[in-house]
Amino acid sequence: MTRTLSWFFSMLALAAMLLLLGIFAWQSIPVWQHDGTRYLTGVKWFFRSREFGALPMIYGSLVVSFIALIVAAPLGFGAAICTAEYLPRPARLAVKVLIELLAGVPSVVYGLLGILLLRDWIYDVFARFEPLNGDTLLTAGILLAVMVLPTLVTLGDDALRGVPAAQRRAARALGLTRAETLISVTLPQAARGFGSALLLGFGRTLGETIAVFLVVGRQDNNLPEHWLSVNKWLESGQTITSKLGSSETNIAYGDPLHWAAIAGLGLILLAMTGAAAFLGTSFGKRSDA
Amino acid sequence: MKPLAISLAALLVLTAQICAETLRINGSTTVNLPVAESAEILRAEQKMDIQVDTQGGSSGGISMLGDGLVQIGMSSKPVSAEDRAKYPSVQFNEVHVGEDAVALIVSKDVWDGGVRSLTKQQLKEIYEGRITNWKELGGKPQRIAFFNKEPGRGTWEVFVHWVYGSPAAAPKVSFPEVGGNEETRNKVASTRGALSQLSSSWADGKKVFALALKGDDGVPVAPITENIATRKYPLSRPLFLLTKGEPQGAVKVFVDFLLSERGQDLVKKHGYLRLKDLVK
Amino acid sequence: MRKATDIAVAAVAGLCALIAVGILVGLVSVIARRGGPALSWGFLTEQIRLVGASGGIFWNLVGTLILLATAFTACAPPAIAIALVERVWLQNERGRRALRTFLYTANGVPSIVFGLFGFILFVQWCGWGKSWLAGGLVLAMTMLPTVTVSLIERLKTIPPAYIQAAAALGLSRSKIIWAVLLPQSWGGLLTGSLLALARAAGETAPVMFTATIFAGATLPRGIKESPVLSLPYHIFILAQDSFDPEVGSKLWGAALVLLALVFVLSLIALPMRLKIHEEANL
């Protein structure tokens, strides 16, 4: 009985997840039929004239996540080095508690702070680049950096503490300083864990919705000439999630093609975050929920 | 298994019956203000059960009424032929409850820079990206930061209706989008060179300023009460409660309340024109 | 030179940690300063009036609690079941690894995707409309991986001697589960759940299309068309659509209450969680 129940509920959970994947795949069929792979590579999204190109939103999602990691990685891993290598146990625990709390701050609260503080700050600080307004990809990226920071600290700390203490002691006994031990012994061994943390953090930032929605500006079709150019970073953009959270989701339901385009965005997002989570966990040894 | 199924079915039937008493309303955030306050009064005085939501703006109100998810839709635009075609079995009934104007609002620096009015042609060129700086419109040199209302908002539809004749004729452009009224006001107020469409009642004249619109005769018309009442201001729009067919039961009670003296005072309180203010 | 580098590295690392903690302190103080004035007993016990400009957030708080209770109830059975399958019933390593990969991948699914899934499945196909149950089930899905992993970690820390002793007594595996494993692992279930609930409490994206409306909902009656109010959605709407300066302070007050709720849930779970976490890393 216990066994049956265990398997039953496990299968139920598995079925729900498969159903989720299936629904998004199935609901998006019309847009694939309508546009084929041009749905992925198309650069124009005008639903009134039934043009559905997802590329600008894929670009937006990738850019804000990229900015978030660039900003958060040094800070997060630095803090992880501090907690794992330098702080005595009580202080370490205190910092970890605070980082856990930071991880719990709701997305909508970040969004509120983004509207109140970050938007104007970006607008003023970067004034000489003459941004049209404060709602930019950069604003969303920096807000996401703060949001993903706890993930990087926690996973980075885990990676460092996964390196056996005996190796550190051996290195110190050879006369290496703490910094040298860290750089030549500990960090190389924790590198995989750091990489995994980055991938998992990347998945987080890709999927974040509400905070991004409130500060990204929600401008469609804003693609740069070149993927690597940064001149769009100070302009408004659209991410996959900000589109999914917008009024279009309400408008689209009932119109098979438009709805398929929305569901297709969900599918793309699932594929991207799924890949990040899968690679992240198989890359590193363990991850934490 | 079978008794379970039966009791489950019974439960569903029961739920459906109880829920029939709940009046659900959804739609335009502009219409929401007097409606939400009316709902509070009716809840307190008549013990009515009323739920109000603003998902998807006017279009959300129309589609949710069409889908049967709500009994009253709120809309700041008329139900289009397209909407009616999408829900052929639904008899949309528009109840006119007040009048509002869509103002073109600008930030303080633009206003102080001397731009006080625009023509339809100028708006068109801004919207199509041919005019991008206020100095081309007699203001100080500053790029125009245009915020477009997101799709589905009545405000946007009224705007393109005036400029282009219909939403379908509007050119395909992409600007940063804004949704709610406060979001719009907030962003325009804090951005240099900002321009957006917003319900005129929200243009406070302190942080955001409503431009006058120039007709063919070149006379600027500001979105003030008398110009809206006489429809001299071109971007005025009716505010509607939408019902399926003639209002009945709880729907009728609600509609009647908003049309009553007290309801109309709420319309006025939130900055819109009452029906009796309109010059017929 | 070497000594200088040594100090510099320590200083930079310390500074990073300080910034991270500083962000939290700054963030809390901003919200407390803005939201503090709105707080009063009435704010917690009255319902919204004048479209958020007056009254309190009573039904928003109740709605959030209803969603959390539903999510917990729906999440616990599968979480226990999956943890047992991973620890007890699956004997081959490959199956276990597949299961863990499934959990981690599920954990990476963005909450907006769960929200849209719930919208299609419950709101539209089941015809529930916006319903507390739809929202609760969707939140349960977002919580499941966290709770399950926490439970698995807890099960791992049960000394093998307990299980061997029980097996030596001739207990079957199901008996061992009920007599040893489950009683020993409530802590894991609870800490995992509290943490996941803390996260779920602040989620807007999963419930905005499935469960919550702006005003007028009280206690749900039945399943169909029974939305609730919630704190995060309230903040989300008011952030875009407040018409009255009075709303401002109420808005921050609501954010402060939500933050407090989330912090309390995480803090209750924390001692036990840190213990498990540290042990797992030894």
CATH 3.40.50.880, applies to B101-229:
no
Q: What is the pLDDT along chain A (289 residues), one digit of tens a residue?
A: 888 998 999 999 999 999 999 999 999 999 999 999 999 999 999 998 899 999 999 999 999 999 999 999 999 999 999 999 999 988 998 898 899 899 999 999 999 999 888 999 999 999 888 899 999 999 999 999 999 999 999 999 999 998 998 999 999 999 999 999 999 999 999 999 999 999 999 999 999 999 999 999 999 999 998 888 888 999 999 999 999 999 888 888 878 999 999 999 999 999 999 999 989 888 765 444 3
What residues of A are in contact with residue C100 (Cβ under 8 Å)? 281
Instruction: Give B143→chain A minimum CA distance, Å.
Output: 7
Q: Quick one: average pLDDT of C7-30?
A: 94
> Nearest 5 degrees, angle CA A217-CA A219-CA A225?
120
Do B2-98+239-277 and B101-229 come out as alike in CATH topology?
Answer: yes
Residue B151, helix vs strand vs coil? coil
Is residue B4 scored above 80 in pLDDT? no
Q: What is the ipTM of this complex?
A: 0.93
Q: Quick one: average pLDDT of C225-242?
A: 87
B145 touches chain A (CB under 8 A): yes
Q: Do B63 and A250 touch (CB under 8 A)?
A: yes
Q: Quick one: average pLDDT of B200-217?
A: 89
B165: left (phi over 0), alpha (psi -120 to 50) or beta: left
Q: Which of residues 200-259 of A touch C (CB under 8 A)?
A: 200, 203-204, 206-210, 214, 241, 244-245, 249, 253
Q: Is residue A136 part of a domain?
A: yes
Q: Which of residues 121-150 of A touch B (CB under 8 A)?
A: 123, 130, 132-135
Residue pLDDT, tens place only, B59-105:
889 988 998 889 999 998 889 888 898 899 999 999 999 998 999 99
Neighbours of chain A (3+ CB pairs under 8 A): B, C
Per DSSP, the residues of C121-134 read IIIIIS---S-HHH
Q: What number of C-beta contacts closer than 8 Å exist between A and C? A: 266
Is residue B261 scored above 90 in pLDDT? yes
CB-based contacts of C281: which residues, under 8 Å, 6+ apart?
A: A158, A161, A162
Picking from A74, A81, A80, A118, the residue whose alpha carbon sits closest to that of residue A99 is A80
Interface test with A, best of B53, B65, B155, B174 (most A CBs within 10 A): B174
Q: Which of residues 151-180 of A touch B (CB under 8 A)?
A: none
Q: Is residue A31 part of a domain?
A: no
More confident site: C191 or C260: C260
What residues of A are in contact with residue C4 (Cβ under 8 Å)? none
Q: Is residue A44 part of a domain?
A: no
What residues of C are in contact with residue B50 (Cβ under 8 Å)? 216
Q: Do B52 and C224 touch (CB under 8 A)?
A: no
Cβ of C244: how many Cβ atoms within 10 Å?
16
Q: Do A133 and B194 touch (CB under 8 A)?
A: yes
User: Which domains can be identified in chain C, with CATH numbers?
Assistant: 39-280 (1.10.3720.10)
Write down the pLDDT at residue B56: 78
Helix spans in chain B (H): 2-19, 29-46, 57-66, 81-86, 108-112, 120-127, 154-164, 181-189, 225-229, 249-259, 261-269
Nearest residue of chain B to residue C215 (CA atoms): B52
Nearest residue of chain A to residue C177 (CA atoms): A2
Q: How many CA atoms lie within 13 A of A147 on its CB side?
A: 33
What residues of C are in contact with residue A119 (Cβ under 8 Å)? none
For residue A103, give its domain range: 58-285
What residues of B are in contact with residue A52 (Cβ under 8 Å)? none
> Nearest 5 degrees, angle CA B268-CA B51-CA B37?
20
Instruction: Give A229→chain B minimum CA distance, Å.
Output: 20
A89 touches chain C (CB under 8 A): no
Torsion angle of C-alpha atoms A184, A187, A191, A193, degrees rounded to 10: 150
Assigned architecture for domain B2-98+239-277: 3-Layer(aba) Sandwich (3.40)
Q: What number of C-beta contacts closer than 8 Å exist between A and B? A: 79
Cβ of B20: how many Cβ atoms within 10 Å?
12
Taking the C-alpha atoms of residue A254 and residue C143, their distance in angstroms, rounded to an integer, is: 30
Phi then psi for B210, rounded to 5 degrees?
Answer: -90, 125
Torsion angle of C-alpha atoms B264, B270, B272, B274, degrees rounded to 10: 10
Write down the pLDDT at residue C242: 63
Q: Do B63 and A130 touch (CB under 8 A)?
A: no
Residue with tokens 């061992």: C176
Interface test with A, best of C2, C9, C30, C33 (most A CBs within 10 A): C9
Share of chain A above pLDDT 70, in %: 98
Taking the C-alpha atoms of residue A105 and residue A102, their distance in angstroms, rounded to an integer, is: 6
Instruction: Give B273→chain C minimum CA distance, Å.
Output: 17
Which residue in the set C27, C109, C270 is minimally distant from A113, CB to CB?
C27
Kindly state the helix (H) or strand (E) to which residue B166 belongs, with its residue range: none
- C158: pLDDT confidence band, cut at 50, 70 and 90? confident
Q: Do B16 and C224 touch (CB under 8 A)?
A: yes
What residues of A are in contact with residue B179 (Cβ under 8 Å)? 246-247
Q: Do A247 and B179 touch (CB under 8 A)?
A: yes
Question: Is residue A73 within 8 Å of C16, Cβ to Cβ?
Answer: no
Q: Do B14 and C222 touch (CB under 8 A)?
A: yes
Taking the C-alpha atoms of residue C1 and residue A106, their distance in angstroms, rounded to an integer, is: 45
Question: How distant, in Å, are the alpha carbons of B255, B262, B266, C212, C240 from that of B42?
Answer: 11, 11, 13, 21, 26
Instruction: Give A251→chain B minimum CA distance, Å.
Output: 6
Give the global pTM: 0.89
Q: How many domains does chain A contain in total? A: 1
Nearest residue of chain B to residue C208 (CA atoms): B55
Write down the pLDDT at residue B16: 44
Instruction: Give C56→chain A minimum CA distance, Å.
Output: 18
> What does pLDDT average to over chain B?
87
Taking the C-alpha atoms of residue B107 and residue B129, their distance in angstroms, rounded to an integer, is: 19
B191 touches chain A (CB under 8 A): yes
A105 touches chain C (CB under 8 A): yes
Question: Is residue A216 within 8 Å of A60, Cβ to Cβ?
Answer: yes
Q: Is residue A22 part of a domain?
A: no
Structure tokens at C144: 């499941």
Q: Is A88 exposed, middle or buried (0-12, 13-18, 19+ CB in 10 A)?
A: exposed
**Residue C180 per-residue DSSP state:** I
Residue with tokens 């209770």: C69
Taking the C-alpha atoms of residue A150 and residue A156, their distance in angstroms, rounded to an integer, is: 10
Residue pLDDT, tens place only, B112-164:
999 999 999 999 999 999 999 999 999 999 999 999 998 878 889 889 989 99
Residue with tokens 């040594």: C6
Helices (H) and strands (E) in chain A, counts: 15, 2
Instruction: Give B135→chain C minimum CA distance, Å.
Output: 31
Taking the C-alpha atoms of residue A269 and residue C268, their distance in angstroms, rounded to an integer, is: 34
Question: Is residue A8 within 8 Å of C180, Cβ to Cβ?
Answer: no
A109 touches chain C (CB under 8 A): yes
Residue with tokens 């419950």: C122
Instruction: Give A165→chain C minimum CA distance, Å.
Output: 10
- Tell me the β-bridge partners of B26: B53, B73
Instruction: Give C99→chain B minimum CA distance, Å.
Output: 31
B230 touches chain A (CB under 8 A): no
Is residue C49 scored above 80 in pLDDT? no
Write down the pLDDT at residue C281: 43
Residue pLDDT, tens place only, B6-39:
444 444 444 444 444 789 999 988 898 899 889 9
Q: Is residue A252 part of a domain?
A: yes
What residues of B are in contact with residue C129 (Cβ under 8 Å)? 69
Question: How distant, in Å, are the alpha carbons of B128, C24, C235, C239, C255 from that of C259?
Answer: 44, 12, 12, 16, 6
Interface test with C, best of A6, A28, A178, A267 (most C CBs within 10 A): A6
A48 touches chain B (CB under 8 A): yes
What residues of B are in contact with residue C240 (Cβ under 8 Å)? 179-180, 182-183
Domain layout of chain B by residue ranges: 2-98+239-277, 101-229
CATH number at residue A205: 1.10.3720.10
Taking the C-alpha atoms of residue B37 and residue B48, their distance in angstroms, rounded to an integer, is: 13
Q: Is residue A99 part of a domain?
A: yes
Structure tokens at B6: 């039966």
Neighbours of chain C (3+ CB pairs under 8 A): A, B
Question: Is residue A104 within 8 Å of C199, Cβ to Cβ?
Answer: yes
Q: Is residue A110 part of a domain?
A: yes
Write down the pLDDT at residue B262: 93
Q: Are strands B220-221 and B212-214 parallel, antiparallel or unpaired?
A: antiparallel
Taking the C-alpha atoms of residue C72 and residue C261, their distance in angstroms, rounded to an integer, is: 16
> What does pLDDT average to over chain C?
88
Is residue B208 scored above 50 in pLDDT? yes
Q: Do C84 and A83 touch (CB under 8 A)?
A: no
